Structure 1
Amino acid sequence: MKNSSDRRTDPPKKRIHALVSSMGTASKAELLPASGMTGSSLTRLLDEMVAEKLLSASRLGPSSGGRKPILYEINPESGYFFGLEISRRTSSLGFFDARMNAKALLHWRMDEAMTPEQLVDFAARNIRSILSDHRIEPSQVRGIGIGAVGPLDRKQGLLIAPLHFPAPGWKDVPICRLLEERTGIPARLENGANAALLGERWAMRGDNPQHLLHVHAGIGIRTAMMSGGSLVHGSVDMEGAAGQMIIHMDGPRLHSDGNYGAWEAFASVQAIERKAQADAKAGRRDVPGAAAVPPERITYDMVLQGLHDGSPYAREIFLQAAVHLGIGLANLINVLHPETVLLGGALIRSSDHVYRTAIETARRNIYYSPHYSPVFSKGVLQEDAVVVGAALTVWQEEP
C-alpha cells in the first residue's frame, strides 16, 4: 500500500480503489479529503466504478443528522489474483478475490525433484484445478504475483542464480514467461522478503505502520525494508545480501562466494546443520541423529527434533544461533531505525525461547535504547505472508 501523498499521483480510479481497500468501507465524505478531487468529480467517478462493478454501494452508514450516506466497498468479484511463493524449503500457492480474501491456499515441500519445470507444471495444474473448483474463468484472473528467493531481475521476470535449492536447474529461470505460457495469465516477480513485508503490512493496515524491517532467518537470511509506507528497492535485487554482513572477523562461511564471519554462517538453518555435522565428526555423541546416521547426513530437522525432545546439545546450538541473530538485528536496527521489526523463517519458528533470545539480544545492543525501541513481532500472516504479498503486487495495479 502507498501512503496518502503517493496516492495523489495515481490515476483517479486506482487512487479511490486503494483508499476504499484500506478503509474497508468508506462514504464519499470520508473519501473526499484524501481523493484530491472535487465533490462532483468524485461522485461521477464513484458512479462509474459501481457501474463497472469495481465497487459495491449496497449499504447505508449511520446518519450524522441528515440522509444516511452510501458506503462503498470493493466488489469481491471484480477480479481474482494468484500469489505464488518460491522458496528453498517450502513453497505455496494462494488464490484471492478483489478484497484479498483467501479462497484457496496450498503449501508443499521443495525436494530434489522440484526443478523449475516441475514447479511450473505443479503450479499450473493447481491453478487450473482451483479455477475449476470455484467456477472462475482464467480471463477473470488479473495476474499471478510471484515472491521468490533472489537474486532476481524483477523487470525481466528472471530468477538469476538462487543458492541452496534441493533440485538442480535454478539458474537464469524466466519464471514469469514460463508461467504465462502454461496458464495464459500475466505474471510479475518480486523478491520474497519484499512480498512478505507487503503482506504483513496489509494485515496491519489498520495501524498504518510506515517504517518496517522484515528479517527472514531460514536457509539463509533475507531482509526487506519499508520507509514511509513504501518498499525500499536498491539498484540491484540481490536478496540475501544482508546475510553477508560480517559479525565475527575470521569466522566461518557457508559457501565459496560468501564472506568469512558472515551473519548467515551463525544464524541460519545451514549454520545449525553444519555445526551439528562438524561436532558429530569431532566425536560428540549427544548430537541428535549422530547414533543413527553418518555425520554428513545429520540434518537441521534432526537437530530441531532434538530441541523439541529436550536435548541439551540442541538447546545450546539453537540459543547460540539466536544470540547471533540478535546481534545482526541490532546492527540493522541501528542503521535503519524501523518502528516495527517483523521476524520470520524456520529459525524463528523453531521455539519461543529462540525468538525471545534474539529479541532480548537485539534490544541490549540498540544504541538509543530505551528511548528508541522498535516493536518486535512474528507478524500476523507469518507463513502465508509471502503468498499474500505476492498477490498484492498484482492487486495494487488494479483497477
Structure 2
Amino acid sequence: MTRLQDRIPGRKQKDVFALVHKRSVVSKQELLESGDWTGSTLTRTLEELTALGVLEEAGFGESTGGRRPILYRTNPAYGVLFGLDISRMYSLLVLYDMHLNKLDSHRWTMTERMTPDVFIAEVAAQAEAMLAARGVPPGAALGMGIGAVGPLDRSAGTIVAPLYFPAQGWQNVPIAAALEERLGIPVLLDNGANAALLGEHWASRGQQYQHLLYIHVGVGLRSSMMVGGKLVYGAVDMEGAIGQMIVQADGPKLHPGGNYGSLEAYASIHALEQRAQSQLKLGRDSLLRTLPEPDKVQYHHLLQALGRRDPLAVELFTQAATYFGIGLANLLNILHPEKVILGGPLISADPLFFQTCTRIAIQNTYYYPSYQVLFSRGELGEEALVTGAAAMVIGAMTE
C-alpha cells in the first residue's frame, strides 16, 4: 500500500502541487510570484510533476506582451479517491477523480441494523464495486477520507463515543484500520465538521477566504474553525463542544452528559421534538394534534407542519433559531471569522431558521457594523462533508 505522503517526492514538489491544486489553473509566472523558488527550479519541478502524472498542461493563458504562458492544473486522471460521510441519520460514499468530480455514489440510512461490522462490510463492498465498474484494480485508488460524527481520535482513526446512533456498538470503532485492511488503501479520519469546512473551503477557493467558521445544526451541533486557511485543532476533538455553550444557566439538560441550559437544549432536532411534545401535552392547538399521541411527534412531522405555516411549528422553529443566533453571536464576538457557513437539517429545511438566526446574531455582534461577516448556507449543501473528506486525501499528498 503506497502511503499518500510518498506519492509526491520532495518538499518543493509538494509545495508546487499544493499551489496548483489550490488555484485550480495557474501559470508559471503566478507560481513564481507565490513561492521563493527560482525560474529554473520551478521549471524543473513542473516537468517532474508532469512526468509523474499529478500535473498536466492546461492550454495557454492571456499574453501580457510576450509569449502566451503555459497553464498548469492537477491531472484529473491521475487517480480516483473516496469520500465517506458517517452521520447519525444517513451515510454517503462517493468516488471522485482528482478534481473532486463525482464519479459514483451510494447512500445508506443508518437504521438499527447498521452496526459497525455491517456498515464496514457494506462500505468495502460498495467501494470495490465502484472501482470494478471503472476497471480500477483493487487497491489502486489513492485513498479514502472519512468525516464522521465525534468524538473521535483522529490520529488513531477511531470513532470513540458518538451519541444518538440508532445501532449499537459505535463505541471505540477503529474505522480507518478496518477499511484499510479490507480495501488495501490509506484511510484518513476527521470529524464531520472539519471535513465539511474543508469541502466548502475547496469549493470557494477562488474567493480566498482564510478565516472561516462552520456550524452544522441537526441532531446535535457540530462546529469547526479555519484560521489562515488551516483547520484549528484543540487538545481533544472539539466538534460537539459548541452544543454545550450555556445560554440559559437554569435551563434544561438534553442528555445526561450535557450542561444545563446548553445551546443544543434549545437549538437542535431533539430539542425541537421535546418542545413540541411538551406544548401538545399542554393542549396547544396545532396541525400536529392529528397524531395519536404527543410523544410520537418527530422532526419530519414538524417540517410538514412548518411547511403549512402551522403557528406552533413556526413559533418553535423561530425560538430555536433565536437561541441559536445568540450562540452564534457569542462565537462571532470571540472568533471574528470573515465568513460563517451554516449547514445541516435545520438550516436547509426552511429559510425561516437561517434568516432568523443570522439576524439575531448580527443584532448581538459587538463590533457590528464596523466588523462585517458573510453568512452562507454553503456551496456544496449536504455534500460538503463527503467532498471535504475526499479533499483530505489530496491534502495528505502534500504533507
TM-score (norm 1): 0.94
Tell me the SS of whatever aligns to 2:139: helix
Partner of 2:131: 131
* Deviation at residue 89 of structure 1 after TM alignment: 1.4
Partner of 2:217: 217
Tell me the SS of whatever aligns to 2:306: helix
Partner of 2:119: 119
Partner of 2:328: 329
Partner of 2:23: 23
Whole-angstrom CA distance in 2 between matches of 1:294 and 1:27: 65
Whole-angstrom CA distance in 1 between matches of 2:48 and 2:325: 52
Whole-angstrom CA distance in 2 between matches of 1:83 and 1:297: 35
Whole-angstrom CA distance in 1 between matches of 2:144 and 2:83: 6
Where do residues 86-235 of structure 1 align in structure 2 (5 Å cutoff)? 86-235=86-235
Tell me the SS of whatever aligns to 2:48: helix
Amino acid at match of 2:131: L
Partner of 1:361: 360
Q: Is this contact kept in 2: 1:287–1:303, CA < 8 A? A: no
Shifted more, 22-31 versus 153-162: the winner is: 22-31
Amino acid at match of 2:14: K
Tell me the SS of whatever aligns to 1:333: helix
* Deviation at residue 49 of structure 1 after TM alignment: 1.1
Calculate the aligned-residue CA RMSD, in Å: 1.5
- For residues 301-325 of structure 1, give each alpha carbon's deviation from its aligned partner in whole angstroms, at most 9, with x where no partner exists: 1111111122111111111101111
Shifted more, 312-321 versus 293-302: the winner is: 293-302
Whole-angstrom CA distance in 1 between matches of 2:380 and 2:239: 21
Whole-angstrom CA distance in 2 between matches of 1:67 and 1:301: 60
Whole-angstrom CA distance in 2 between matches of 1:230 and 1:138: 33
Are the structure 2 counterparts of residues 33 and 138 from structure 1 closer, same or farther at C-alpha, using a change threshold of 3 Å? farther
Amino acid at match of 1:65: G
Q: Unmatched 5+ residue regions in structure 2?
A: 1-9
* Deviation at residue 205 of structure 1 after TM alignment: 0.5
Partner of 1:281: 281
Does 2:54 match 1:36?
no
Whole-angstrom CA distance in 2 between matches of 1:316 and 1:66: 65
Tell me the SS of whatever aligns to 1:142: coil
Whole-angstrom CA distance in 1 between matches of 2:107 and 2:315: 31
Whole-angstrom CA distance in 2 between matches of 1:181 and 1:218: 32
Amino acid at match of 2:21: S
- For residues 186-214 of structure 1, give each alpha carbon's deviation from its aligned partner in whole angstroms, at most 9, with x where no partner exists: 11101100110010010110011011111
* Deviation at residue 39 of structure 1 after TM alignment: 1.2
Whole-angstrom CA distance in 1 between matches of 2:242 and 2:199: 21
Q: Unmatched 5+ residue regions in structure 1?
A: 1-9
Whole-angstrom CA distance in 2 between matches of 1:59 and 1:92: 35
Amino acid at match of 2:39: G
Partner of 2:316: 317
Partner of 2:338: 339
Whole-angstrom CA distance in 1 between matches of 2:278 and 2:185: 47
* Deviation at residue 68 of structure 1 after TM alignment: 2.7
- For residues 126-177 of structure 1, give each alpha carbon's deviation from its aligned partner in whole angstroms, at most 9, with x where no partner exists: 1112112222223331111000111100010011100011111111111101
Partner of 2:250: 250
- For residues 193-241 of structure 1, give each alpha carbon's deviation from its aligned partner in whole angstroms, at most 9, with x where no partner exists: 0110010010110011011111111001111111111111001114211
Whole-angstrom CA distance in 2 between matches of 1:259 and 1:201: 32
* Deviation at residue 58 of structure 1 after TM alignment: 5.4
* Deviation at residue 53 of structure 1 after TM alignment: 1.1
Partner of 1:370: 369
Whole-angstrom CA distance in 1 between matches of 2:139 and 2:115: 28
Q: Is this contact kept in 2: 1:152–1:238, CA < 8 A? A: no
Are the structure 2 counterparts of residues 262 and 144 from structure 1 closer, same or farther at C-alpha, using a change threshold of 3 Å? same
Q: Is this contact kept in 2: 1:279–1:287, CA < 8 A? A: no
Are the structure 2 counterparts of residues 279 and 58 from structure 1 closer, same or farther at C-alpha, using a change threshold of 3 Å? closer
Shifted more, 134-143 versus 386-395: the winner is: 134-143
Amino acid at match of 2:33: P
Whole-angstrom CA distance in 2 between matches of 1:341 and 1:367: 16
Partner of 1:392: 391
Partner of 1:3: none
Whole-angstrom CA distance in 1 between matches of 2:238 and 2:30: 41
Using the aligned pairs only, state the percent identity.
Answer: 48
